Structure formats: structure tokens, C-alpha cells
């Protein structure tokens, strides 16, 4: 994935055929953060904590459903990936960039949580046939996030 340029609230990237397939495969994994992972408070007791937590869970579930629909529409949009000889061009608005970063972050962090939230030094020791797909998802989501963030630094 290579950032080409930004103009008029649009970011344009060149993707090889391989990068396009990888991005599509990673995005199909959304959502990854387990629903019970996000809690209102880890320490102190809040008034009406159970119903407040349920409200948070419901709002997050609703957001995941909406994001899942958006991911599907993103992947199916014929205009999204303008094909060329080398692969394709991906054009994103500023709001689409922010949304895509949030989706990729869910995939990256969710994969990390599924792996047991390992410290960076222990990641390779955890790699085996069972954990490799989650490790791959975490690393690929991070790869695409890095490229998207790099494009925003120059604008």
C-alpha cells in the first residue's frame, strides 16, 4: 500500500493486487473485540453499574452492526477500488479514513485480546498453528493502520 497524494478532502492510495486482497480479508474479520471486553469501570463501583454496563453493551453492539454493514458496502462498492494494471487505486475521504482506522483498530486490538493480550516480547513464543491466524490479523491490521496514519501526517 502506497500513499500517492491528498487533495480536496480525499486521500489516494495505490494498492497492489496482493494488498487489495489482504485489506479485504482483514476487513472481513470485523468485529474482533469480544463484547464483554469493554467495561465502564474496572475499579470503583458505579451507581446502577449493571444497567449502565448493559447500556454500553447495547450501544457497542448497535455500532458493530452498523460498522459491519459499512464494511460490507465498502468492500462491495465498485467505485471504491479503481483497478489498473498494477492493482488499484483506493480513494478515501477524511471521514472514511477515520472510520477505516477505527475498524482496523478493532481488528488489531481484538486479535490481541483473543491472543491473551501478550507483551511484545512474548508474541513470537505464542505463535503456533492455533494462534497464527489471530497474530496475522493483528499484524495486518497494524500494517494498514500505519499506512493510513502516515498519509495523514503530511496533510
The pLDDT assigned to 109 comes to: 95
Query: DSSP string of 15-75?
Result: EEHHHHHHHHHHHTT---S-GGG--S-SSSPPTTHHHHHHHHHHHHHHHHHHHHHHHHHHH
pTM, two decimal places: 0.87
Give the other-Cβ count within 10 Å of 113's Cβ. 15
The domain total for the chain is 1
Residue 43 domain-assigned? Answer: no
What is the domain range of residue 63? 2-37+49-153
- Do 145 and 106 touch, CB atoms closer than 8 A? no
Residue 106 domain-assigned? Answer: yes
1: three-class secondary structure by DSSP: coil
Residue 44 domain-assigned? Answer: no
Residue 42 domain-assigned? Answer: no
The pLDDT assigned to 22 comes to: 97
**pLDDT > 90? residue 18:** yes
Residue 15 domain-assigned? Answer: yes
What's the mean pLDDT in 79-90?
92
Q: To which H or E segment does residue 11 belong?
A: strand 10-16
- Do 111 and 41 touch, CB atoms closer than 8 A? no
Amino acid at each position: 500500500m502506497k500513499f500517492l497524494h491528498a487533495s480536496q478532502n480525499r486521500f489516494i492510495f495505490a494498492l497492489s493486487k496482493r494488498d487489495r486482497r489482504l485489506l479485504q480479508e482483514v476487513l472481513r474479520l470485523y468485529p474482533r473485540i469480544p463484547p464483554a471486553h469493554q467495561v465502564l469501570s474496572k475499579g470503583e463501583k458505579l451507581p446502577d453499574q449493571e444497567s449502565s454496563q448493559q447500556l454500553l453493551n447495547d450501544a457497542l453492539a448497535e455500532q458493530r452492526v452498523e460498522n459491519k454493514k459499512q464494511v460490507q458496502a465498502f468492500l462491495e462498492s465498485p467505485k471504491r477500488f479503481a483497478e489498473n494494471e498494477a492493482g488499484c487505486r483506493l480513494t478515501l475521504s477524511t471521514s472514511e479514513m477515520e472510520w477505516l482506522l477505527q475498524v482496523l483498530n478493532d481488528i488489531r486490538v481484538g486479535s490481541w485480546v483473543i491472543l491473551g493480550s501478550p507483551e511484545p516480547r512474548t508474541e513470537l513464543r505464542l505463535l503456533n498453528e492455533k494462534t497464527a491466524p489471530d497474530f496475522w490479523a493483528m499484524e495486518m491490521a497494524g500494517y494498514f493502520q500505519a499506512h493510513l496514519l502516515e498519509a495523514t501526517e503530511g496533510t
